[in-house]
Structure 1
Amino acid sequence: MLMSVLFANSSGNVLLERFHSVPGEERLHWRSFLVKLGTDNLNGARDDELFVASHKSVYIVYTVIGDIWVFTVGKDEYDELTLVEVLHAITSSVKDICKKAPSERVFLDKYGKVCLGLDEIFSQGILEHTDKDRVRRLTRLRPLVE
């Protein structure tokens, strides 16, 4: 299961987060852990450079795109390889929505569209779509013509 997707800026402020099957009392722990992980490893990292970690029998794959840090957390069948695919789908869709690697301002300006894109990529912690073109068509809120 995909437990969490979290977007933060380089100052450690959480911009967007989605948790699935994570109790409310554990969410603060995960937020602070992921931000600390980003602070320790992502300063000076290149765009789309992937980082992998594990914590409490879960897998974490994270990267930086523009000014935004992106974290994916999964367990069981959502191991490092699957999380790389999820992260690639998320980052390519965010770049597509923002028209480039996003700054914090552009990301927040396109916040609603990014949320729609995330809803199309995964639902209730299950991966649904990884094709960026399909996600783009679905976020237009028009019926698919196939």
Structure 2
Amino acid sequence: MILAVLFANAEGNILIERFHGVPAEERLHWRSFLVKLGADNLKGVKNEELLVACHKSVYIVYTILGDVSIYVVGKDAYDELALSEVIFTITSAVKDVCGKPPTERRFLDKYGRICLCLDEIVWKGYLENTEKDRIKRLIRLKPPTEF
């Protein structure tokens, strides 16, 4: 299961978070842990260079894209290899929505569409869609024409 997907800015403020199967009392711990992990390790990392960590028997894959840090946390079948596919799909969708690696301002301007993409990629803790064209089609906010 994919436990969490978080986006943070360079100062460590959470821009978007999605938790699945994580109790509310543990979420603060995960937020602070992931932001600290990024602050310690993401300095000087190139865009989309993946870093991997393991904490409390879960896997964490994280990267930086423009001014935004992206963290994906998973367990069981979602090991570092599966999470790398998830984060690749997420970074690809964010770049498509923003037009390039985002600044924090551009990311916040496109917040709604990024949230829609994220909901189409990860649904209830499982990877739902990885195809770029399908995700674009699903976030158009038009009624479906094919049944």
Please, what TM-score do these two structures have when normalized by structure 2? 0.96
1:78-89 residue pairs with structure 2 within 5 A? 78-89=78-89
Q: Counterparts of 2:146 and 2:15 in 1: how far apart (Å)?
A: 33
- Residue identity (%): 64
Q: 5+ residue gaps in structure 2?
A: none
Q: Counterparts of 2:133 and 2:104 in 1: how far apart (Å)?
A: 23
Q: CA deviation at 1:144?
A: 6.1
Quick check: 1:108 aligned with 2:111?
no
Is contact 1:129–1:135 with CA below 8 Å preserved after alignment? yes
- How big is the alpha-carbon RMSD for the aligned residues of Structure 1 and Structure 2? 1.2
Residue aligned with 1:18, SS: strand
Show structure 1 runs of 4+ deviating over 2 A. Answer: 142-146
Corresponding position of 1:98:
98
Q: CA deviation at 1:136?
A: 1.0
Q: CA deviation at 1:30?
A: 0.2
Corresponding position of 1:129:
129
Residue aligned with 1:73, SS: strand
Q: Counterparts of 1:123 and 1:35 in 2: how far apart (Å)?
A: 23
Is contact 1:42–1:64 with CA below 8 Å preserved after alignment? yes
Corresponding position of 1:50:
50
Q: Counterparts of 2:145 and 2:62 in 1: how far apart (Å)?
A: 31
Corresponding position of 1:12:
12
Amino acid at match of 1:18: R
Q: Counterparts of 2:33 and 2:107 in 1: how far apart (Å)?
A: 23
